């Protein structure tokens, strides 16, 4: 177990090193940062002075080393546009994104597994057939169309929910949450559903396929032969065996939720890191882009590590030699 | 004696696109308390379907189309699912073939036992735990209490089957249906499990139906036997009477096809009753055929020589060397196989016999030791081209004919691939000719070349594997359990084919099997392996008549009792 986690940590470090190298290269390949910082009328001397201040004349390896040392200390430099520390900007925006991702993950996992199990067990009922047909929409429609559709239906036509923004924010020990007020909940519902729909249908279809596979296995047949009730067979035996591959996909998909949140946050003007990233791209605000890249990679790596550890919890066969 | 279970004129149909397929046709059998009924037949005979219809767990779309099943005075074939569920486990216990897959891998065996006990006996969790310990003890699991918290993968195959039996007994049933309970197990374990089933049957006065393809199992355990062929019951009666004086032709040929461990015969007896098994093996004059070209001139001397060969597999990885655990799968093994000889390798699963074969075939790299083939050290890295030339002279036939053929290639492509790869023919028309010759050589029509592997039965697939092996013009053939996935009647055909090929082409053969009678028929010399080491190497007849090593004696003692077959 210890060896296994150590091994994974080493792999994670390697991934982070590669990603940080790529983010660093952004500084040198995405336009000249000085051009973006100073106005059109800045003199040549001013430009040279700024270059020297920023250390842009140093050899590339020295710059990379400086970048890595700063990043390791959580310092991603100043935003070119807002002139504030990037780490502070990200931390301010982070609660909004994490709450959105959390809400959609809960929706996707919960509804996805429940419907997946249902369609797996009642394979031939007409309800299952309808669920499967509708789930095709979730797989095939792009997120922004679903978002705009939901805004039209619930915000414009029915006027039940707000169309954009994040309302009802309360400060809770440095964490700005919108999950404590009714307004906050009303504003998170639409973006959360939009973001979760694709993952939900993926999980649904995966759970269903795994469930069908497991229901054919010998130990389910043997469980029936022992006279166990259907409930015990479906939820005690089948579901847990279904979960092993599902956990992998859920882990990867939560990373995907963060990545997709860029689109959802733009559609709903949700003040999270994704929206900040899109705005940074518009202004070629390289420090924010680089930091966001590293941040997303870090989340992926951490989630995958958690998934690997979850295997140990779910599947005793991986814990070999453990006891 | 009143019957516990009576099946009267049972028919089971499977609707398919080409109309109804009658899997079971008008079968009537009965079992009394304290009696073991053997239900024997080859694959596809419908014997498992009979067992499944008793517990109402037929694979869909199969359904009972006629007849009655009466259990303990009540008809059970028309009960609702819920009523039937209460009979399963509580009144009728079931044991399936493969203990590896019968248990839920993610649940401790204690939990699986107690959930069954709570469901069938309606007892509390605490007393279920006590009862579980009792049950595990009664099926011969030593020190059962701590084992309750173990997961299925922490048990060996035999122990796992004991757990399965404990689970089948949990509801205190009156009838046990055992579907091939020992097929996936080693001979020594097979005997233990059969003894256990038999003694439980007598102790608890259970009725037992044992479904098997293995006449040896029937001879070992059953009181009465019913023989099924093609969905029909062809014969039933007392075991002794049926095995010694079979009335029906099918039973006769089935019994005669069981390889004998007592004496060496020239050829295996072929089950001639079965339709389509009379494929004539046409052996042409091969001495001036393509197959015999390029032969090395040596007909004497050592073909394969293995010295002090060892290999280890890591069971547990760890950062520090002292925490790593590795298994010596082959441990300091030395053998010599003479040119033209049939060399047998026998042992139980895990003894390292397949690993040794794979080492010789070059599929694994050994940790230490030497392998010489026709005097050439194939482990030397300096002469790679020579090594690959030598390796070509060695071909392997694998155990499972289902997974060893590429299902997306036609038979013609499968057989011609080695020819084309080695460019061993002049042109493509010669390749086609050679492939045609090869397929008829292994006893199959040339029309099969355009088909895909799934269109063939297990035996036919194994013939295709043999043809593919021959396409490389081998001089050494390594056969790793070539017939253990096949029925006896098919086994006889394949083994005869291998024998003929060996004589015609003067091949050197390394023949691996766990089946002692087969080894006796096939091999000139035999090596007995246990735990990665060779215990004894001897002439076949000498080993069978006067084994020296204790383990050889032990193995030979486990052979099916042949005395029952003969008067």
Confidence of residue B390 (pLDDT cuts 50, 70, 90): confident
| pLDDT of B567 higher than 50 | no
Q: Give residue B387's pLDDT.
A: 79
Q: How confident is the model at residue B517 (pLDDT cuts 50, 70, 90)?
A: confident
Residue A321 Cα, gap to closest chain B Cα (Å): 7
Q: For all residues of chain B together, what is the average pLDDT?
A: 84
Is residue A37 pLDDT above 70, yes or no? Answer: no
Q: Which domains does chain A have, with CATH numbers?
A: 15-72 (no CATH), 89-314 (1.10.3720.10)
Residue A236 makes CB contacts below 8 A (sequence gap 6+) with: A228, B107, B115
Q: What is the pLDDT of residue B277?
A: 44
Domain of residue B552 covers: 299-393+476-484+506-565
| Residue A290, both tokens | 């680089």
Q: Is the pLDDT of residue B136 over 70?
A: yes
Asked which of B201, B235, B256 is the last residue of a domain, the reply is B256
Residues B147 and B223 in one domain: yes
Decide if A217 and B315 are in contact by the 8 Å CB cutoff. no
Give the closest of A225, A228, A237 to B119, CB-based: A228
Of B90, B101, B151, the CB nearest to A227: B90
Q: Is residue B280 part of a domain?
A: no
Instruction: Tell whether B458 is covered by a domain.
Output: no
> Does any CB of chain B come closer than 8 Å to the CB of residue A261?
no
What is the mean pLDDT of the segment spanning B521-531? 90
Question: Is the Cβ pair B119, A237 closer than 8 Å?
Answer: no
Element (H, E) at B314: strand B302-316
Whether pLDDT at B271 is above 70: no
- Contacts with B86 from chain A: Cβ below 8 Å: 227
Cβ contact, residue pair A225, B153, below 8 Å: no
Question: 0.90 exceeded by the pTM?
Answer: no
Considering the domain architecture, whether residues B234 and B368 belong to the same structural domain is answered as no
Question: What distance in Å separates the CA atoms of residue B359 and residue A176, rounded to the nearest whole number?
Answer: 64
Length of chain B: 567
Q: What would the two tokens of residue A99 be?
A: 């709450």
Work out the pLDDT band at B525, boundaries 50, 70, 90: very high
Inter-chain touch B317–A3, beta carbons under 8 Å: yes
What would the pLDDT profile of A148-193 be if each residue is shown by its tens digit? 898 898 888 888 888 888 877 777 777 778 777 888 888 888 999 9
Confidence class for position A240, pLDDT limits 50, 70, 90: confident
Q: Is A3 on the interface with B (CB under 8 A)?
A: yes
The whole-angstrom distance between B313's CA and the closest CA on chain A is 15
The answer to whether residue B417 is domain-embedded is no
Same domain, B229 and B311: no
The number of folded domains in chain B is 2
Q: What part of A 229-248 touches B (C-beta under 8 Å)?
A: 229, 232, 236-237, 240-241, 244
SS3 B78: coil
Segment B438-490, tens digit of pLDDT: 888 888 888 888 888 888 878 888 889 999 998 888 889 999 888 877 777 77
Contacts with B, A 24-83, CB within 8 Å: none
pLDDT: which is higher, B349 or B453: B453
B72 vs B125: CA distance, rounded Å: 30
Does position B1 have pLDDT exceeding 60, yes or no? Answer: no
Quote the pLDDT of residue B404: 86
Q: In this structure, are B63 and B153 located in the same domain?
A: yes
Q: Which residue has the higher pLDDT, B339 or B98?
A: B339
Q: Are B507 and B527 in contact (CB under 8 A)?
A: no
**What is the tens place of the pLDDT at every residue in B75-92?**
988 888 889 998 998 999
Domain boundary among B256, B289, B310: B256
Whether residue B273 is predicted with pLDDT greater than 70 in this model: the reply is: no
What are the tens digits of pLDDT across the range B169-215? Answer: 888 899 999 998 887 777 778 888 898 999 989 998 999 999 988 88
Specify burial of residue B93 (Cβ count, 10 A radius: 0-12, 13-18, 19+): buried
Q: B113 falls in which pLDDT band (50, 70, 90)?
A: very high
CA distance B151 to B257: 40
**Shortest Cα distance, chain B CAs vs residue A302, angstroms:** 22
Task: Say if residue B232 is in the same domain as residue B326.
Answer: no
Beta strands in B87-242 (DSSP E): 92-95, 175-179, 207-212, 224-229, 232-238
| Beta-carbon separation of A316 and B115 below 8 A | no
Give the chain A residue nearest B94 (alpha carbons): A225
For residue B533, being part of any structural domain is answered with: yes
Q: Is residue B409 part of a domain?
A: no
Residue B104 contacts A where some CB pair is shorter than 8 Å: yes
Contact predicate B120/A227, CB 8 Å: yes
Mean pLDDT along residues A7-33: 82
Q: Answer whether residue B405 is part of any domain.
A: no
User: Which of the two residues, B42 and A212, has the higher pLDDT score?
Assistant: A212
Q: For residue B276, what pLDDT is reported?
A: 46
What confidence score (pLDDT) does residue B208 get? Answer: 94
pLDDT given for residue B322 in this prediction: 66
Residues B111 and B25 in one domain: yes
Predicted local confidence at residue A107, as pLDDT: 93
Share of chain B above pLDDT 70, in %: 90
Distance, in Å, from the CA atom of B240 to the CA atom of B262, rounded to the nearest integer, reads 19
Domain boundary among B201, B225, B256: B256
Q: Residue B70: which pLDDT band, with cuts at 50, 70 and 90? A: very high
Which one of A49-53, B99-103, B125-129 scores highest in mean pLDDT? B125-129
Rounded distance, CA B514 to CA B137, Å?
30
Same domain? B186 vs B66: yes
pLDDT for B272 equals 60
Tokens for B413, please give them. 């492509």
CATH number at residue B143: 3.40.50.300
For residue A228, the chain B residues in CB contact (below 8 A) are 89, 115-116, 119
**B183 within domain boundaries:** yes
Backbone angles phi, psi at B280, to 5 degrees: -75, 125
* pLDDT value at A319 more than 70: no
Quote ipTM for the complex: 0.75
Q: Sheet holding B232-238: strands in order across?
A: B92-95, B175-179, B207-212, B36-40, B224-229, B232-238
Please tell me if residue A218 touches chain B, with a CB cutoff of 8 Å. yes
Contacts with A3 from chain B: Cβ below 8 Å: 317-319, 323
Asked whether residue B90 is assigned to any structural domain, the reply reads yes
Q: Which of B42-46, B273-277, B293-297 has the lowest mean pLDDT?
A: B273-277
* Amino acid A321: pLDDT: 44
- B25 lies in the same domain as B105: yes
Query: Which of B70-74, B147-151, B163-167, B287-291 has the weakest average pLDDT?
Result: B287-291
Beta bridge partners of B134: none
The contacts of residue B376 (CB under 8 Å, 6+ apart) are B383, B386, B387, B390
B70, B6 Cβ separation under 8 angstroms: yes
**Is A229's CB within 8 Å of B119's CB?**
yes
Nearest CB partner across the interface for A218, out of B88, B102, B115: B102
Burial of B425 (0-12, 13-18, 19+ CB in 10 A): middle
B32: confidence class by pLDDT, cuts 50, 70, 90: very high
The alpha carbon of residue B401 is apart from the nearest alpha carbon of chain A, in Å, by 22
pLDDT in tens, A85-107: 888 888 888 888 888 999 999 99
B220-231 per-position pLDDT tens digit: 889 999 999 888
H-assigned helices in A166-238 = 182-215, 218-225, 230-231
Residue of B nearest to A323 (CA): B150
B250 and B305 both lie in a single domain: no
B89, B91, B104: which to substitute to probe chain A, counting the most A Cβ within 10 Å?
A: B104
Write the residue in A2, A226, A232 that is nearest to B167 by C-beta: A226
pLDDT at A41 over 90: no
- Cβ distance of A227 and B317 shorter than 8 Å: no
Residues from chain A contacting residue B87 (CB–CB below 8 Å): 227
Residue B54 has pLDDT above 60, yes or no: yes
The answer on B251 and B379 residing in a single domain is no
Q: Please compute the mean of the pLDDT values over residues B357-372 and round it to a whole number.
A: 88
Does the beta-carbon distance from B87 to A227 stay under 8 Å? Answer: yes
């Amino acid at each position: 177990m210890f060896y296994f986690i150590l091994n994974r940590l080493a792999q994670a470090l390697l991934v982070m090193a590669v990603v940080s190298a790529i983010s660093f290269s952004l500084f040198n390949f995405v336009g000249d940062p000085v051009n973006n910082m100073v106005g059109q009328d800045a003199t040549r001397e001013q430009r040279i002075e700024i270059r020297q201040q920023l250390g842009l004349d140093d050899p590339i390896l020295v710059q990379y080393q400086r970048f890595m040392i700063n990043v390791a200390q959580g310092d991603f430099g100043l935003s070119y546009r807002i002139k504030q520390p990037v780490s502070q900007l990200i931390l301010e925006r982070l609660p909004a994104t994490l709450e959105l991702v959390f809400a959609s993950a809960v929706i996707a996992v919960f509804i996805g597994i429940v419907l997946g199990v249902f369609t797996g067990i009642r394979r031939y009922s007409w309800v299952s057939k309808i669920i499967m047909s509708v789930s095709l929409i979730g797989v095939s429609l792009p997120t922004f169309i679903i978002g705009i559709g939901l805004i039209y239906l619930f915000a414009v036509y029915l006027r039940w929910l707000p169309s954009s923004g994040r309302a009802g924010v309360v400060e809770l020990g440095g964490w700005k949450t919108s999950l404590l007020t009714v307004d906050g909940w009303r504003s998170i519902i639409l973006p959360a559903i939009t973001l979760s729909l694709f993952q939900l249908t993926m999980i649904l279809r995966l759970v269903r396929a795994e469930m069908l596979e497991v229901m054919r296995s010998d130990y389910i047949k043997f469980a029936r032969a022992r006279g166990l009730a259907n409930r015990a067979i479906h939820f005690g035996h089948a579901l847990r065996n279904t979960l092993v591959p599902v956990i992998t996909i859920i882990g990867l998909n939560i990373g995907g939720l963060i990545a997709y949140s860029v689109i959802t946050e733009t559609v709903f003007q949700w003040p999270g890191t994704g929206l900040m990233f899109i705005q940074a791209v518009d202004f070629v605000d390289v420090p924010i882009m680089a930091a966001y890249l590293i941040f997303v990679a870090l989340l992926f790596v951490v989630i995958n590590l958690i998934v690997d550890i979850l295997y140990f919890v779910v599947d005793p066969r991986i814990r070999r030699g453990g006891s | 004696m009143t019957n516990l279970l009576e099946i009267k004129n049972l028919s089971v149909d499977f609707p398919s696109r080409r109309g109804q397929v009658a899997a079971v046709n008008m079968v009537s059998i009965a079992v009394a308390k304290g009696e073991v009924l053997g239900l024997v037949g080859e694959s596809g005979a419908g014997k498992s379907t009979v067992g499944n219809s008793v517990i109402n767990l037929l694979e869909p779309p199969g359904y009972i189309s006629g007849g009655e099943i009466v259990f303990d005075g009540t008809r059970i074939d028309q009960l609702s699912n819920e009523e039937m569920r209460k009979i399963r486990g509580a009144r009728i216990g079931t044991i399936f073939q493969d203990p590896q897959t019968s248990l839920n891998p993610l649940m401790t065996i204690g939990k699986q036992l107690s959930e069954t006990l709570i469901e069938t006996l309606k007892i509390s969790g605490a007393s279920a735990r006590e009862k579980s310990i009792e049950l595990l003890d009664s099926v011969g699991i030593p020190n059962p209490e701590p084992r309750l918290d173990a997961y299925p993968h922490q048990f060996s195959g035999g122990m796992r089957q004991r757990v399965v039996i404990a689970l089948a007994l949990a509801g205190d049933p009156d009838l046990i249906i055992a579907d091939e309970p020992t097929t996936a197990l080693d001979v020594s374990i097979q005997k233990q499990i059969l003894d256990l089933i038999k003694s439980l049957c007598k102790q608890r006065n259970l009725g037992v139906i044992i479904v098997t393809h293995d006449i040896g199992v029937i001879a070992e355990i059953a009181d009465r036997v019913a023989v099924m062929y093609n969905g029909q019951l062809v014969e039933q009666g007392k075991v002794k009477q049926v095995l010694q004086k079979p009335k029906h032709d099918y039973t006769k040929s089935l019994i005669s096809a069981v390889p004998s461990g007592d004496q060496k015969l020239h050829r295996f007896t072929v089950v001639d009753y079965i339709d389509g098994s009379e494929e004539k093996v046409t052996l042409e004059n091969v001495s001036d055929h393509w197959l015999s070209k390029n032969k090395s001139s040596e007909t004497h001397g050592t073909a394969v020589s293995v010295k002090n060969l060892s290999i280890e597999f890591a069971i547990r990885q760890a950062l520090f060397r002292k925490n790593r655990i590795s298994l010596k799968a082959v441990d300091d093994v030395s053998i010599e196989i003479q040119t033209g000889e049939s060399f047998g390798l026998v042992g139980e699963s895990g003894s390292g016999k397949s690993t040794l074969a794979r080492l010789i075939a070059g599929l694994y790299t050994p940790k230490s030791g030497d392998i010489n083939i026709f005097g050439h050290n194939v482990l030397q890295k300096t002469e790679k081209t020579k090594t690959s030339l030598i390796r070509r002279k060695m071909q392997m036939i694998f155990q499972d004919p289902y997974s060893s053929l590429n299902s997306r290639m036609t038979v013609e492509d499968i057989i011609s691939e080695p020819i084309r790869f080695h460019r061993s023919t002049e042109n493509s028309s010669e390749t086609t000719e050679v492939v045609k010759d090869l397929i008829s050589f292994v006893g199959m029509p040339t029309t099969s070349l355009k088909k895909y592997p799934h269109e063939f039965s297990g035996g036919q697939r194994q013939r295709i594997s043999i043809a593919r092996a021959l396409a490389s013009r081998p001089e050494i053939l390594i056969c790793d359990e070539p017939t253990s996935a096949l029925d006896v009647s098919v086994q006889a055909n394949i083994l005869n084919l291998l024998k003929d090929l060996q004589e015609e082409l003067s091949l050197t053969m390394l023949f691996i099997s766990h089946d002692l009678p087969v080894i006796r028929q096939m091999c000139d010399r035999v090596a007995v392996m246990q735990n990665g080491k060779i215990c004894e190497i001897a002439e076949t007849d000498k080993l069978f008549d006067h084994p020296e090593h204790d383990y050889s004696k032990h193995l030979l003692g486990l052979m099916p009792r042949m005395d029952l077959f003969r008067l």
